Structure 1
Amino acid sequence: MLDWITNTITAFNYWGIALLMFLENIIPPIPSELIMPLAGFTVTQGKLVFWGVVVAGTVGSLLGALPWYYVSRRLGENRLKQWIDQYGKWLKLNSEDINKSQDWFMKYGAAVVLFGRLIPGIRTFISVPAGLQKMPFIEFIGYSLIGSLCWNLLLTYAGFVLGQNYGLVEKFLGPVAAVVLVGLALFFIVWVVQRKRQ
């Protein structure tokens, strides 16, 4: 996997980063936790420009978020689950993943699209409940843009700082994901309290 990612970035530069991040949002096993830090490392070698890497990764992420959003919106929950149960094994998906993403969306609302982009394992699936709940497209793109930009900026900077040790980024993502989850829980609690006061 690492060799393929490295070769793609080396051969296609920014286009390769955008392509990999597009695929990462559609096919879960391709990890952005390797793509963007590796791209950040290439910046230290003078082969790419930092902000070019971030923009390429973010454009790829946004484009990759759209297929699941549109498919879920068009098919609806029952047909989507039938399709996933039949073909999802190729994408490492099952209907339980759809249920989990639905629960997250129902519990935390539209903001989960923003925070979901920062959490490994959820990032790929967060487009599904947004599509199923027919979240307005502009709102979906706005939240996805902010979340993807923050995530890609963090990973690129980590790869830039760590240099050849960019592989260590994955080890530090556990605490980052925990902080995001706690922040999301606090956001939900504050929201509930404000609603009750009203």
Structure 2
Amino acid sequence: MVDKGVEKARTKLMQRQVYLKVDFDFTVDEAAFFYSYNGRDWNMFGGKLAMRYTIPHFMGYRFAIFNYATKQTGGYVDVDFFRFADRLTGTGTSADLKAYLTESEIELSGDPETVCEFGILINEVPGNESIYGIHASLVIPEELAVIGVDVHEKNLNATKVELEPKDGRYDMMIYNTGGQPLVL
């Protein structure tokens, strides 16, 4: 974390995916910064930012996520979403289950026998709850066809995968036929 050109905090990331959050408290004009590895348990990062407002040329506070190379030229930051909410959450957060594709691109070929694989990363299951199904909607270009979905048993113990073309997309449902929860 850098403030006015001075590094205020640094941490080594323990995994490739990290969640970032800023709580802006406009009642006391302060902002607090947090990071998380699962989108649920948050660690405060650096000190609080005192937001000062001046009337001569008020522009408000702007924020961004960017890559700042310190050892060699290059690098990038891949941001999957940017969300706003009207409440402060501090080191807690809502227990929403979220899923993300692990690849941003899939390379295709002209061979109709080509099999494309992609992974879905699911954040930590909230509390001690169980997941009984996963529903996804896939938008696939009309030049391509999805002929099936396989679930890797070592990652997920699902017994049933349904895939249904619907209004230019594919709806996919993964679950166990006996009603048991999925084990991730």
TM over 0.5, shorter chain: no
Which structure is larger by alpha-carbon Rg, 1 or 2?
A: 2
Q: Decide which structure has greater helix share.
A: 1
Larger strand proportion of the pair: 2
Q: Using CA pairs below 8 Å that are at least 6 residues apart, which structure has the higher relative contact order?
A: 1
